[in-house]
Amino acid sequence: MTELIEKLYRTCDLSGSELKSLIETDDEEAAELLRSRADEVRQRYYGKKVFLRGLIEVSSYCRNDCLYCGIRRSNKEADRYRLTREQIMLCAESGYELGFRTFVMQGGEDSFFTDDFMCGVISELRGKYPDCAITLSLGERSYESYRRMKEAGADRYLLRHEAASEELYAKLHPAELSLSHRKQCLYDLRSLGYQVGSGFMVGAPFQTTDDLIADLRFLQDLRPQMIGIGPFVPHHSTPFAEEKGGTLALTLRLLGILRLMFPKVLLPATTALGTIAPNGRELGLRTGCNVVMPNLSPVDVRKKYELYDNKICTGEEAAECRVCLQRRIESAGYEVAAERGDCVDGQL
């Protein structure tokens, strides 16, 4: 294992069979070596900085029916909400005062959020906060829609590919969604000049090591500026309610591997990671992560953006989240960076 990790560290790549052994090992010494190499590489490019992204969960309405997701359209128990333009602006205002310089508007695929509506919000944000990055995470839309939103002032787009293996993609999604369309969206976003984030869930139902290797290979092809991964966490009113969730150890292994494969990438320690272990995000930060995405959504809607069970940070005000995260980041030995936090390499 030592040799494999050193080879990945030196060359940023491994063969399929080498990756398989590394993904599957439960050797603790290997985990520690991977962690320290990942941390060394993140510090080479980003020092001790951790970038904050203020997450505004704009809508829990979704036309899609992804089998793992708590806000899928078939979940009749879900309590739905959508924010108004004024509410979104208020979230951004409080976020700006708290020092955030990136706003992420994420939501289900809600047809109420037309291009006209989104472009209005984006240009207002762009005008008020010229020093901030505007990130969108609104799922699959048309090339024209992505183009208009970019023109209105959006900088970045987060769209996890979810699963790069056709077979697994089909088991996690309804028939009307396709991996090829998901990929097309990512290539469209990239060609429009967005900084792109992609990624996948770890430990999703039916996922094999070969599926994870397919995810890594797809990311090597796409070369996104950000890679978001987190453990799959079951949601009680989805078809995967009784499935096992992804583990902390496997998620950390993949984070370490991603940092060594993509030395300059932006790698968030996700809320899902913090949900499966109380110190999950701190462990992520120590294993190559350099981004956290605290919640800026109004407290009265937070519980309703329930993608999975036991999601953390649903009861606190934005300011409390900010203080709590600052404490966690510093306790792990890192520092909060109040800046836009672009990827050090425009195109990886």
- Candidate list 201, 214, 285, 325; residue touching ligand SAH; CB under 6 A: 201
Q: Give the whole-angstrom CA distance, residue 281 versus residue 287.
A: 10
Does 232 help bind ligand SAH (rule: CB under 6 A)?
yes
Nearest CB to ligand SAH, comparing residues 106 and 326: 106
Q: Which of 88, 185, 272, 276 forms a contact with ligand SAH (CB under 6 A)? A: 272
154 vs 307, beta carbon nearer ligand SAH:
307
Query: Is the CB of residue 298 less than 8 Å from the CB of residue 95?
Result: no
Report the residue from 9, 46, 194, 308 that binds ligand SAH according to the rule CB under 6 A: 308
How far is the CA of 246 from the CAs of 75, 117, 219, 256, in angstroms?
Answer: 22, 37, 20, 16
Which residues, 114 to 153, sit near ligand SAH by CB under 6 A? 137, 139
If the CB atoms of residues 271 and 287 are measured against ligand SAH, the closer one turns out to be: 271
Q: In degrees to the nearest 10, what's the CA dihedral of 59, 77, 318, 100? A: -30
> How far separated are the first and last CA of the chain, in Å rounded?
27
Q: Could you say whether residue 68 binds ligand SAH (CB under 6 A)? A: yes
Please check whether residue 45 is in contact with residue 14, taking contact to mean a CB–CB distance below 8 angstroms.
no
343: closest CA among 287, 263, 276?
A: 263
**Binding status of residue 162 toward ligand SAH by CB under 6 A:** yes
Q: Is 230 in the site for ligand SAH (CB under 6 A)?
A: yes
User: Which one of 157-165, 188-196, 325-333, 338-346 is the stretch in contact with ligand SAH (CB under 6 A)?
Assistant: 157-165
CA distance linking residue 32 with residue 219, whole number of Å? 24
What are the structure tokens assigned to 99, written together?
């020092």
- Residues of this chain that interact with ligand SAH (CB under 6 A) are 68-69, 106, 108-109, 137, 139, 159-160, 162, 201, 230, 232-233, 235, 272, 307-308
